[in-house]
């Protein structure tokens, strides 16, 4: 059985996240970290959107 490899960090400009994935950090826990920026936690609960100050990725709360 093959194990799932982590998805690339900072590969997309927009990510949809659900409340079950909070607290939100960039890069997210399932992303490969070896080529990424330092982890930063993003406040998304109030507005439903957050922008990473390092890579510019936009996170949108979908539920």
Domain ranges of the chain: 14-61
| CA-based torsion, 34, 13, 45, 63: positive or negative | negative
| Residue 2 confidence (pLDDT) | 52
Kindly report the pTM of this predicted structure: 0.79
Q: Prior bond to 27 cis, omega within 30?
A: yes
Q: What is the pLDDT of residues 3-45, one digit of tens each?
A: 567 777 777 789 999 999 999 999 998 887 767 889 999 999 9
């Amino acid at each position: 059985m093959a194990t799932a490899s982590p998805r690339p960090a900072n590969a997309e400009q927009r990510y949809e996240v659900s409340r079950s994935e909070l607290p939100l950090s960039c890069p997210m826990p399932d992303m490969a970290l070896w080529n990424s920026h330092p982890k930063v936690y993003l406040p998304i609960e109030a507005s439903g959107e957050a922008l990473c100050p390092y890579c510019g990725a936009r996170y949108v709360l979908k539920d």
